[in-house]
Amino acid sequence: MKRNLLSVASLLFGTLFLFMGNGLQGILLPVRGNLEGYATTTLGLLGTSWAAGFVIGCLVAPKLVRRVGHVRAFSGFIAIIAIIALVSGIIIHPVWWVLLRAVTGFATAGTSMIIESWLNERATNESRGAIFSLYISITLFGVVAGQMMIPLEDVRTPVLFMICGIFYCIAMLPTTLSTAASPQPLKAVKLDLPALYRNSPVSCLGILLVGIANGAYGTLGAVFGAGAGLSDTSIAIMMSSTIFAGAVMQLPAGRLSDRIDRRYVLAAMSAIAALAGLLLAILHPDSPYFIIGLVVLYGAVANTLYPIAVAHANDFASAEDFVKVSGGLLLLYGIGTIIGPTIGGPVMSMINPHALFLVTAIAHVLITAYAIIRSRMRAAVPVGDRDAFTTLSTATSQTLTPESMSLADRGTAKTPETGDPALKYN
């Protein structure tokens, strides 16, 4: 186990700085854009373009990696991200930012796929779970650490953009200087969304709606904070606390979903997220403590929805179909994160910054209603036949690709009728 972890230590070190850059840049652009007076609709397009680029990258990047190799592709993708971060600090223009953000999303998909395939090849059956958990923890810590850089410098200067560039350059060094052999070429995963929907309607629609809610909040949460009168420090604390609250809540929510029908847990968590969102949208609180408290409650439950929905889908799938199922769900989540900011920006412009949570509340109410309806139409999988819950923060799922799903150590789901692995379309 220790030997396996040591073999990927340098790669994980680079991953930490990559996600620190991602976390900082992700919050810096909307905060600076808001100070520049950009329309909320435009700021929402930053998230839309990034998510669109990321989805395209998941589909196209493997071909580029197979053509030039992992190390060259990895260095090239990070160089692109670093250049864009620096250019964004020089060219302060909304149209350029939106266009460049799409390229960043594309390149981020490429770097994530390379990291995940590299880790997957170095992992053994004994170390796979530990490496996957460590990878998720590092990405989570990296995003939060990057966000907390915001209070350290005036966002009106290009300094924070330069720090992003430094983080990305550091992230490139471990793999560039490594003498370890490159992993095998990336494998293409054929996705079948109609079959995926037949497998688990709740997971498909639920994850699409989770993507809409989280895409809207992830992109426009900082804009909401500024509109609600929070300081840069309070905005950073709010965004980071949301991620931490979601990470802490994952295990109890997941364990609960292992014991009762996951759809009930999905419905309950969505209902709480909807309630927190409606309170923010209706009450318009001005106290920073009250705002952050409600947002933390929102994040604690909203960030549990994605892994519960994935686990529910895998309850009805064989171990052989796990990567295919999870890859399809990631694609649906990506589509949702494209839709969320596109809707959220105009709604906030037409109503007020607090209306962001009206968008998220509607998405969560729909999840609650559909999960309850489907629970009446289809029996739950018996506890002994369920797939084991795996913690997966939605903050990191925005930068996960189907390659990461091979890292998770999963048991083989068996049908109660035959005891053989099968995709259960019933």
Cβ atoms of residues 19 and 71 within 8 Å: no
Q: Does the structure show a pLDDT above 90 at 84?
A: yes
Q: How confident is the model at residue 158 (pLDDT cuts 50, 70, 90)?
A: very high
Q: Is 118 exposed, middle or buried (0-12, 13-18, 19+ CB in 10 A)?
A: buried
Count of beta carbons in the 10 Å neighbourhood of residue 252: 10
Per-residue model confidence as pLDDT tens digits over 63-75: 888 888 888 888 9
**CATH no., domain 2-405:** 1.20.1250.20
pLDDT confidence of residue 48 = 95
pTM: 0.86
For 90, the token pair is: 């020089």
Across residues 184-211, what is the average pLDDT?
Answer: 80
Per-residue model confidence as pLDDT tens digits over 297-344: 999 999 989 888 888 887 776 655 666 777 788 888 889 999 999 999
Q: How confident is the model at residue 422 (pLDDT cuts 50, 70, 90)?
A: very low
Q: Does the structure show a pLDDT above 70 at 385?
A: no
d(CA 236, CA 228): 14
Q: Does the structure show a pLDDT above 70 at 413?
A: no
Domain ranges of the chain: 2-405
pLDDT confidence of residue 26 = 93
Cβ atoms of residues 284 and 390 within 8 Å: no
pLDDT confidence of residue 103 = 96
